């Protein structure tokens, strides 16, 4: 029997940490965007661009992808550290460490560390842009795009495999137990988990945000258990569906509980 606790637990720790960090640095992040919020048109455009990028990655040469991603990651790490610490001298060190590590160390666990950092950065950095209703629309559109690119075109699996092969921190890749097979979840899926959990925490208090994170991780655990132990041949599966199912189970039970408490 194959069991994977490590990946679901890692997702929960990343998302729950992001909830606390979001509360700590929300004002700083909002000040960067001057209170701007995304609208429906912008969200539709973002999801369309994401879908196009997934397809383009399958055709772009590997070295070009490496240059673009590494440059963007290093710049984002620089700016994020500066926003948090407020000192350029200290902000230089994280991207320098990332570049040196990427060039000199070939270790999947080191890549996982930077994938986790990447996940936290985009969750905290982008969450202030999403109002509640726009978050729901974004989640639905992103899941639709994911399903099409996984089951329809197959580009999501191909592009993810290509970037992982280039050792880019785009996914958490951890061993299962006891056979030590590798299980993975993309940074985009973790971002959606964090965004939904943070918005839930903002609307219904931190407790419900943490419950959301736990429910998503539990749903991931259940899916992995079934995938690892049943005779299923799955080349790839849209993890956004798992995220939404876990979140719906959490938010649904929380709302029902609140209504029952109000009636009593």
CA–CA gap between residue 181 and residue 7 (Å, rounded): 12
CA–CA gap between residue 240 and residue 208 (Å, rounded): 20
pLDDT digits (tens, 9 = 90+) for 72-90: 999 999 999 998 888 899 9
Expressed in angstroms, the distance from the first to the final Cα of the chain is: 44
Owning domain of residue 79: 6-263
Asked if the structure places residue 54 within a domain, the reply is yes
Asked if the structure places residue 19 within a domain, the reply is yes
Cis peptide upstream of residue 64 (ω within 30 degrees of 0):
no
pLDDT for 2? 81
Asked if the structure places residue 175 within a domain, the reply is yes
Q: Render 122-136 in DSSP notation, one character per residue.
A: HHHHHGGG--HHHHH
Count of Cβ atoms closer than 10 Å to residue 88 Cβ: 10
132-147 vs 40-57: helix crossing angle, rounded to 10: 30
pLDDT for 180? 75
Low-confidence winner among 30-34, 132-136, 163-167 (lowest mean pLDDT): 30-34
- Output the six-digit token pair for 255: 């709302």
pLDDT, averaged across the chain = 91
E-only strand ranges, the chain: 171-175, 182-186
Average pLDDT over residues 14-28: 93
Residue 184: strand pairing partners: 173
Mapped to the 3 state alphabet, what secondary structure does 217-232 carry? HHHHHHHHHHHHHCCC
CA–CA gap between residue 77 and residue 232 (Å, rounded): 39
CA–CA gap between residue 170 and residue 212 (Å, rounded): 23
CA–CA gap between residue 204 and residue 132 (Å, rounded): 11
pLDDT digits (tens, 9 = 90+) for 220-255: 999 998 888 887 776 678 999 999 999 999 887 766
pLDDT band of residue 108 (cuts 50, 70, 90) is confident
Asked if the structure places residue 181 within a domain, the reply is yes
pLDDT for 255? 67
Asked if the structure places residue 104 within a domain, the reply is yes
Q: Render 183-207 in DSSP notation, one character per residue.
A: EEEEHHHHHHHHHHHHHHHHHH-HH
Tally of domains within the chain: 1
Under a CB-based contact definition with an 8 Å cutoff, are residues 174 and 9 in contact? no
Q: Can you tell me which residue has the tokens 């921190």? A: 169
Asked if the structure places residue 1 within a domain, the reply is no
Q: What is the pTM of this model?
A: 0.93
CA–CA gap between residue 84 and residue 31 (Å, rounded): 12
- The residues near 176 (Cβ < 8 Å, ≥ 6 apart) are 2, 3, 4, 6, 7, 182, 183, 224, 228
Closest to 223 measured CA to CA, from 210, 209, 239: 239
């Amino acid at each position: 029997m194959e069991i994977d606790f490590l990946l679901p637990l890692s997702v929960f720790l990343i998302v729950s940490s992001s909830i606390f960090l979001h509360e700590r640095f929300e004002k700083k992040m909002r000040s960067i965007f001057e209170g701007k919020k995304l609208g429906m048109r912008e969200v539709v455009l973002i999801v369309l661009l994401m879908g196009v990028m997934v397809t383009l990655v399958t055709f772009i040469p590997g070295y070009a992808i490496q240059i673009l991603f590494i440059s963007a990651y290093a710049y984002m790490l620089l700016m994020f550290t500066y926003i948090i610490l407020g000192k350029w001298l200290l902000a230089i060190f994280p991207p320098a460490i990332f570049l040196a590590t990427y060039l000199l160390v070939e270790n999947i666990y080191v890549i996982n560390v930077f994938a986790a950092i990447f996940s936290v950065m985009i969750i905290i950095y982008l969450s202030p842009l999403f109002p509640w209703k726009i978050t729901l629309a974004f989640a639905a559109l992103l899941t639709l795009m994911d399903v099409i690119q996984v089951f329809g075109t197959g580009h999501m699996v191909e592009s993810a495999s290509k970037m992982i092969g280039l050792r880019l921190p785009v996914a958490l890749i951890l061993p299962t137990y006891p056979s030590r097979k590798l299980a993975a979840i993309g940074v985009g899926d973790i971002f959606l988990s964090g965004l939904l959990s943070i918005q839930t925490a903002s609307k219904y208090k931190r407790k419900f945000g943490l419950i959301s994170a736990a429910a998503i991780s539990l749903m991931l655990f259940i899916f992995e258990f079934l995938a690892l132990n049943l005779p299923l041949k799955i080349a790839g599966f849209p993890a956004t569906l798992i995220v939404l199912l876990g979140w719906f189970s959490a938010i649904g039970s929380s709302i029902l509980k609140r209504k029952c408490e109000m009636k009593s």
